């Protein structure tokens, strides 16, 4: 049976519609509803209220149809599972049904984008014609009628989608029993489904599958409860190992026997305290219709009162059994000192308290039953059960007995997910009947087992993270993806969802958490630089499979060497909405299927600079806009493409552009029309030749992220610009010199999280006062440069309120007072990376830095340290991992005292020509890597002669003459 597990409220539920398809459908409905309810409608006097209401009804109809499709599939598969009337060919039929759903998804996306572009064109016409009031009124009439027409077209198109969707709710599947399934859905019995919902209520039978594979452990726990000597029992095992299922099955058995007068099961939430546990026990034992209101107020009662009531009730009950599921060390620290008082067990009464936990300290005072998950035989039994106890081909039987232990680690959810993958052509394998020995050899290979493992991990992810992972496959194989770029693209593509709108987490925080989950599951490889993750990629062995999976559901289309010629090109299943160009765009097809629905274009054409890339990009963008007068692009990422041609006329037709990535393009300028992009949220012109932005940039009211390289803002035209761009969260690479107007504008920016700023000493105090108020800052770079381009005095802001600041880069001369304690300035306590250039610190100034207990990277660059000796003492820099000393002209001695820098793993010394020796290396017993670049030969020899055998020394000679 084709089933897809997902998590809900900590338990496993089952979906029969591909989660990616279902999520895409749900997401496009949400986005359409957001458009209907947004200012696009509310702020427009031309909008017809009745049509707006009808559009909302169409979105509601789609949501109802989505639910109907899910119900239909669940009913159908329940029937097929119970009757075992299943034909593997139906997987293909289901795929056709899901393809139809995806066509509706992409059609709604197209309709929505098309309408928004038409609206922007209408507003543009009004702006261009409104030279005087009377002329504006007259010229607006055609726009008014066109707007009404557009609204009706939008409604009619959505009506067609609704009707087509409902007509497609009857997929072509095996016909046996299907009619009964449809009748059940569309008006007859609405019985609850088996095996698709989970509940821990005591009156619901436990799923039979959860009893499979744990027979011996269940019997041991049962015997311990009835015949063991200890009253307190713990089931100890790793997370998701099946502890809860094991305990629940035995608990059900105990309750059914009726030997205990009081039986209570409490699932302990992570935020519970002992009062919450007491309230839960009381609610389970006393809640009746008569006193329900009283117990609804339990949460507000004093903990001591609840404690006494539980203790008294259990003491009077005679024989009781309490199960506390998922106890962690936090709640255990509350329970342990009071355990005998809270659970007063009379000797010989047979009362028991059972804990399930993943924390070993919790189990110390109890009888421990260790449960590390399923054995190989248990895994196989559970796998077979979830396959309907199907009889397997002998070779498949052998293979699966080999594959399961090597791909699953004994966790039931892994085995169940693997079983679902085994039944579907969406998985990376289909092993019912291996055809020959070569098939067996391929399936038994380590490469294939790694792929199965990754596919298994993928199918245990939430749909949102699955789509983000599939999106990564649009990058070429083995391409190191900058994490900064990936996160920006995920957000611009609408793939990052904040689950709680009240949360203070930004979309960037959520996106980074997605990536960390993928890294934890070993689904991405992450490369670090200077102690920070910088790039990532899908492992090469998995790339092709997940790329094909993504293309199969229309996540993107890849233009590469294999499809540049029509003779070898396979037409995409869906209209192309997202294009990854792995080669030049010259031979890309120009038919409507490839062009007219395009919402994203990411280019990886990074050929040599003497190739005609510029014109090809310009021609391609012209093709996007030529037919309708506008393009639907939301994402245009040309990072690394050499000087692409972006004309003002083409750019102004990309009304919906949200992300424009031009990093490393070496462009010289941007067109004035950049300011007309009202949806633009992110603009990246870092590592280009652009030194100033068009004054029109001040009109980009939704701009949130701006990356530059020492770019100047022209504020002389209109002083009212000081109230613009106040939504910025990233402002990197701005150079303001001594311009007081820019300083005045900066004071309005209070939401910044990343700031990179170069300024003149005359504005230093104003800048320092402003920065001190930016409590959301995470990354800060300040450069104080005089009129000769040299580092000047740096006025440091008071950073005591900047608790979120973790990365600080300072260029300029630091004035550190003799008494650090009396100084108003303190480095942020959570600082992890500190880089200094031109600071001219002396030896005594290091006291301030040594107190940074969270610092893991310290970089002293040119002229940042002005002393002749650099000594690191015990108890300083406890978490420092990376130390870099570059171009410190006066330094002649480096010393690491005993037990100093206990966590350091890398020391990088470059161009410190007066450094004679390094003391303390012979004491370093833990692994350490030293890199010596362009250092004198005698110094290198001295270091090599004294280092401990665990210290690896790498010597480099680099040519800096061309820099």
**Final residue of a structural domain among 370, 398, 420:** 370
Sheet with 367-370, edge to edge strand ranges: 262-267, 320-325, 352-357, 232-236, 367-370
**Final residue of a structural domain among 441, 458, 475:** 458
- CATH number for the domain spanning 530: value is 1.10.10.10
69 domain residue, yes or no: yes
Residue 434: pLDDT band by 50, 70, 90 thresholds?
A: very low
Exposed e or buried b for every residue in 795-825, given b needs 16+ CB within 10 A? bbbebeebeebbbbbbbbbbebeeeeeeeeb
Exposed e or buried b for every residue in 532-553, given b needs 16+ CB within 10 A? eeebbbbbeebbebbbebbbbb
Q: Which alpha helices (DSSP H) does 363-462 contain, by range?
A: 376-386, 394-407, 412-422, 437-444, 446-458
Query: Are 961 and 911 in the same domain?
Result: yes
Strand partners, 420: none
202 domain residue, yes or no: no
Query: Are 79 and 33 in the same domain?
Result: yes
775 domain residue, yes or no: yes
pLDDT digits (tens, 9 = 90+) for 28-71: 888 887 777 765 555 554 456 666 677 777 777 777 777 776 66
| DSSP conformation letters of 742-765 | HHHHHTT----SEEEEEE-GGGHH
| DSSP conformation letters of 750-813 | ---SEEEEEE-GGGHHHHHHHHTT-TT-SEEEEEEB-TTS-B-EE-----TT-TT--EEEEESE
147: pLDDT strictly greater than 90: no
178: pLDDT strictly greater than 60: no
C-beta of residue 801 within 8 angstroms of C-beta of residue 775: yes
Lowest mean pLDDT among 749-753, 798-802, 822-826: 822-826
pLDDT of residue 817: 60
583: pLDDT strictly greater than 60: yes
638: pLDDT strictly greater than 70: yes
Query: Are 157 and 108 in the same domain?
Result: yes
pLDDT of residue 716: 59
pLDDT of residue 458: 86
pLDDT digits (tens, 9 = 90+) for 672-705: 999 889 999 999 999 999 999 988 888 888 999 9
Residue 811: pLDDT band by 50, 70, 90 thresholds?
A: very high
pLDDT of residue 818: 57
pLDDT of residue 61: 74
Residue 86: pLDDT band by 50, 70, 90 thresholds?
A: very low
Most confident of 177-181, 631-635, 914-918: 631-635
> What would the two tokens of residue 873 be?
């003492």
Supply angle C-alpha 255, 258, 262, rounded to 5: 70
Residue with tokens 């993504």: 550
703 domain residue, yes or no: no
Q: How far apart are the first and last CA of the chain?
A: 64
707 domain residue, yes or no: no
pLDDT of residue 677: 92
- Alpha carbon 443 to chain centroid, angstroms: 32
Query: Are 571 and 653 in the same domain?
Result: yes
Query: Are 8 and 146 in the same domain?
Result: yes
130: pLDDT strictly greater than 90: no
Bridge-based pairing of strands 682-684 and 705-711 is parallel
516 domain residue, yes or no: yes
pLDDT of residue 798: 86
pLDDT of residue 183: 39
pLDDT digits (tens, 9 = 90+) for 271-313: 788 888 888 888 877 654 344 444 445 656 788 888 888 998 8
pLDDT of residue 500: 63
Query: Are 534 and 580 in the same domain?
Result: no
Average pLDDT estimate for 842-859: 87
Query: Are 306 and 413 in the same domain?
Result: no
Write out the E strands in 855-892.
857-860, 869-872, 882-886
Lowest mean pLDDT among 373-387, 428-442, 563-577, 785-799: 428-442
**Final residue of a structural domain among 830, 863, 892:** 830
Q: How many domains does the chain have?
A: 7
- Residue-averaged pLDDT of the chain: 78
Query: Are 333 and 265 in the same domain?
Result: yes
Residue 197: pLDDT band by 50, 70, 90 thresholds?
A: very low
pLDDT digits (tens, 9 = 90+) for 321-357: 999 998 988 888 888 888 888 999 988 899 999 999 9
Query: Are 737 and 660 in the same domain?
Result: no
Residue 569: pLDDT band by 50, 70, 90 thresholds?
A: low
Lowest mean pLDDT among 147-161, 169-183, 559-573: 169-183
Residue 1: pLDDT band by 50, 70, 90 thresholds?
A: very low
3-state secondary structure of 830: coil
Residue 396: pLDDT band by 50, 70, 90 thresholds?
A: low
- Report residue 721: phi and psi, to 5°: -65, -15
Average pLDDT estimate for 450-479: 87
Longest dimension (CA), the chain: 97
Q: How far, in Å, CA of 156 to CA of 520, rounded?
A: 47
Q: How far, in Å, CA of 754 to CA of 780, rounded?
A: 6
- CATH number for the domain spanning 280: value is 3.40.50.300
Most confident of 65-69, 737-741, 755-759, 800-804: 755-759
362: pLDDT strictly greater than 60: yes
Choose between 549 and 579: higher pLDDT: 579
Q: How far, in Å, CA of 601 to CA of 492, rounded?
A: 12
Those residues with Cβ within 8 angstroms of residue 713's Cβ, 6 or more apart along the chain or in another chain: 692, 693, 697, 734, 736, 739, 742, 745
Average pLDDT estimate for 210-233: 84
51 domain residue, yes or no: yes
252 domain residue, yes or no: yes
Structural domain range at position 440:
376-458
Query: Are 176 and 46 in the same domain?
Result: yes
Lowest mean pLDDT among 77-91, 411-425, 451-465: 77-91
Residue 720: pLDDT band by 50, 70, 90 thresholds?
A: low
Query: Are 838 and 794 in the same domain?
Result: no
| DSSP conformation letters of 431-443 | -SS--SHHHHHHH
Query: Are 649 and 674 in the same domain?
Result: yes
C-beta of residue 822 within 8 angstroms of C-beta of residue 796: no
Look at residues 798, 861, 808 and name the one whose alpha carbon lies nearest to residue 830: 808
3-state secondary structure of 741: helix
Sheet with 481-482, edge to edge strand ranges: 481-482, 532-537, 525-529
C-beta of residue 764 within 8 angstroms of C-beta of residue 786: no
- CATH number for the domain spanning 566: value is 3.80.10
């Amino acid at each position: 049976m084709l089933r897809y597990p997902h998590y809900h409220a900590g338990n496993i539920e089952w979906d029969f519609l591909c989660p990616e398809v279902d999520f895409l459908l749900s997401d496009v409905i949400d986005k359409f509803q957001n458009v209907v309810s947004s200012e696009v409608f509310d702020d427009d006097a031309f909008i017809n209220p009745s049509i707006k209401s009808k559009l909302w009804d169409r979105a509601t109809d789609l949501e109802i149809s989505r639910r109907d499709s899910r119900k239909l599939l669940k009913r159908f598969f329940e029937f097929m599972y119970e009757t075992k009337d299943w034909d593997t060919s139906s997987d293909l039929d289901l795929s056709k049904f899901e393809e139809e759903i995806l066509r509706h998804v992409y059609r709604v996306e197209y309709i929505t984008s098309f309408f928004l572009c038409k609206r922007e064109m209408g507003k543009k016409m009004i702006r261009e014609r409104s030279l005087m009031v009377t002329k504006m009124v007259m010229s607006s009439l055609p726009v008014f009628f066109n707007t009404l027409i557009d609204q009706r077209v939008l409604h009619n198109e959505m009506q067609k989608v609704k009707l087509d969707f409902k007509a497609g709710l009857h997929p072509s599947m095996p016909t046996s029993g299907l009619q009964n399934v449809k009748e059940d859905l569309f008006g007859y019995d609405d019985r609850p489904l088996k095996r698709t919902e989970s509940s821990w209520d005591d009156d619901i039978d436990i799923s039979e599958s959860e009893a499979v594979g744990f027979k011996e452990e269940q019997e041991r726990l049962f015997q311990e409860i009835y015949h063991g000597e200890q009253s307190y029992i713990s089931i100890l095992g790793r997370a998701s190992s099946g502890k809860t299922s094991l305990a629940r099955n035995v608990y059900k058995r105990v309750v059914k026997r009726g030997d205990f007068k009081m039986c209570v099961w409490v699932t302990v939430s992570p935020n519970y305290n002992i009062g919450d546990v007491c309230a839960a026990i009381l609610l389970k034992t006393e809640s009746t219709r008569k006193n329900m209101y009283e117990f609804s107020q339990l949460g507000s009662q004093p903990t001591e009162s609840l404690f006494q009531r539980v203790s008294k009730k259990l003491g009077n009950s005679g024989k009781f059994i309490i199960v506390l599921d998922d106890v962690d060390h936090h709640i255990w620290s509350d329970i342990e000192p009071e355990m005998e008082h809270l659970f007063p067990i009379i000797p010989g009464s047979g009362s028991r308290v059972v804990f399930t936990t993943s924390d070993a300290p919790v189990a110390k005072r109890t009888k421990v039953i260790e449960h590390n998950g399923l054995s190989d035989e248990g895994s196989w039994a559970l796998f077979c059960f979830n396959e309907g106890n199907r009889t397997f081909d002998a070779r498949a039987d052998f293979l699966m007995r080999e594959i399961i232990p090597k791909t699953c680690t004994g966790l039931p959810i892994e085995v169940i997910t693997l079983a679902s993958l085994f039944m579907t052509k969406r998985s990376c394998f289909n092993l019912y009947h291996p055809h020959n020995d070569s098939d067996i050899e391929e399936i038994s290979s380590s490469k294939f087992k790694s792929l199965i493992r990754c596919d298994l991990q993928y199918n245990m992810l939430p749909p949102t993270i699955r789509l983000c992972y599939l999106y990564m496959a649009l990058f070429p194989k083995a391409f190191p993806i900058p994490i900064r770029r990936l996160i920006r693209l995920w957000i611009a593509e609408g793939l990052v969802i904040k689950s709680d709108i009240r949360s203070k987490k930004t979309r960037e925080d959520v996106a980074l958490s997605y990536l960390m989950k993928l890294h934890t599951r070993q689904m991405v490889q992450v490369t670090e630089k200077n102690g920070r993750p910088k790039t990532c990629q899908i492992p090469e062995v998995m790339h092709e499979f997940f790329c094909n999976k993504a293309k199969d559901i229309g996540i993107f289309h890849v233009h590469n060497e294999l499809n540049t010629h029509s003779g070898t090109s396979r037409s995409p299943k869906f209209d192309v909405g997202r294009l990854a160009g792995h080669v030049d765009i010259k031979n890309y097809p120009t038919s409507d299927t490839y062009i007219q629905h395009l919402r994203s274009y990411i280019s990886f054409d990074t050929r040599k600079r003497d190739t005609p890339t510029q014109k090809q990009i310009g021609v391609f963008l012209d093709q996007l806009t030529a037919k309708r007068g506008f393009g639907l692009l939301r994402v245009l990422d040309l990072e690394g493409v050499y000087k692409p041609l972006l004309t003002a006329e083409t750019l102004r037709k990309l009304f919906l552009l949200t992300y424009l990535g031009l990093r490393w393009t070496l462009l010289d300028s941007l067109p004035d029309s950049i300011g007309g992009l009202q949806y633009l949220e992110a603009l990246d012109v870092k590592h280009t030749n652009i030194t100033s932005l068009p004054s029109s940039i001040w009109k980009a009211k939704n701009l949130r992220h701006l990356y530059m390289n020492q770019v100047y803002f022209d504020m002389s035209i209109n002083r009212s610009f000081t109230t613009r761009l106040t939504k910025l969260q990233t402002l990197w690479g701005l150079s303001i010199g001594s311009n007081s107007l820019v300083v005045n504008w900066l004071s309005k920016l209070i939401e910044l999280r990343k700031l990179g700023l170069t300024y003149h000493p005359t504005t230093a105090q104003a800048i320092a006062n402003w920065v001190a108020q930016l409590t959301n800052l995470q990354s800060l770079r300040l450069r104080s440069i005089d009129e000769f381009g040299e580092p000047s005095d740096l006025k440091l802001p008071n950073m005591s309120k900047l608790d979120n600041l973790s990365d600080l880069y300072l260029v300029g001369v630091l004035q550190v007072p003799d008494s650090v304690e009396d100084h108003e300035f303190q480095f942020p306590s959570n600082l992890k990376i500190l880089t200094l250039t031109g600071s001219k610190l002396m030896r005594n100034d290091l006291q301030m830095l040594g107190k940074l207990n969270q610092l893991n990277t310290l970089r002293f660059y040119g002229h940042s340290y002005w002393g002749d000796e650099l000594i690191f003492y015990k108890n300083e820099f406890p978490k420092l991992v990376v130390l870099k000393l570059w171009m410190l002209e006066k330094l002649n001695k480096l010393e690491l005292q005993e037990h100093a820098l206990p966590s350091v793993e890398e020391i990088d010394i470059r161009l410190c020509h007066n450094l004679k020796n390094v003391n303390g290396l012979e004491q370093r017993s833990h692994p350490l890597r030293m890199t010596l670049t362009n250092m004198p030969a005698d110094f290198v020899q001295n270091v090599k002669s004294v280092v401990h055998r665990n210290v690896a020394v790498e010597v480099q000679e680099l040519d800096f003459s061309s820099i």
